[in-house]
Amino acid sequence: MTGGSRGIGRQAVSRLAQDGFAVVVVYAGRAADADAAVEEVTAKGGRAIAVQADVADEQAVAALFDRTEQEFGGVDVVVNAAGIMNNPTPLVELSLDELDRILRTNVRGTFAVSQQAARRVRRGGAIINFSSSVTRLRQPGYTPYGASKGAVDTMTLILARELRGRDITVNAVAPGPTATALFLDGKPQEVIDGLAKAAPLERLGEPDDIAEVVAFLAGPARWVNGQVLYANGGIA
């Protein structure tokens, strides 16, 4: 589970452990958060370890998969939740450095993890990438983030077809506005309130809501393949 130390990823770690999975919590720089996620799982009798890795570094990603195989004997499910978002900024004002920063994690990182996953996930397994409902909402200010998630969608759908005959499902989860630090940071309260009212269910998503979708794709959803699942309360 990349991006497993905070927010949606952290909740998905807990949910998958509850379903009996041994979990590798992959983090970039927040060791204390990753250790806390591991402690939460192990305190309930589950198995988990924390591993630091830059998801855009192919050697680090390969080493991550090596460690997973050594620790747990193989890889059955890969959840690629690592991602970063820009502060809302019109395209005309964005720097190319900011674009490169977001594409490196969200696109190159998804590619590097998906490549290793395609090589190593065992039959009957699942690869779950993270997209975003921004690709449908097309909110001004999110050009680099939305573009990166559009690339994730395309990678996911093509990889599902490239793994024909392997009995491995490949899907993406596309959350809408969800109450995590990634979403809430830097937004005025009136913007948050407006987005909460936009969905017919009239609230923001919670990490639990998205974790349930991840658990579905990781376990019982064997006939769901090559799809982008929009988990957004009906906002789009």
Domains with residue ranges and CATH for the chain:
7-231 (3.40.50.720)
Q: Strand 169-175 relative to strand 121-130: parallel, antiparallel, unpaired?
A: parallel
pLDDT band at 3 (very low <50, low <70, confident <90, very high): very high
Cβ pair 5, 25 in contact under 8 A: yes
The pLDDT tens digits of the residues spanning 107-164 come to: 999 999 999 999 999 999 999 999 999 999 998 999 999 999 999 999 999 999 999 9
CA 216 to CA 222: how far, in whole Å? Answer: 9
Contacts of 97 (CB under 8 A, 6+ apart): none
DSSP 86: P
- Judge whether 145 counts as a catalytic residue: yes
Residue among 27, 142, 145, 230 flagged as catalytic: 145
pLDDT of res. 89:
93
pLDDT of res. 191:
78
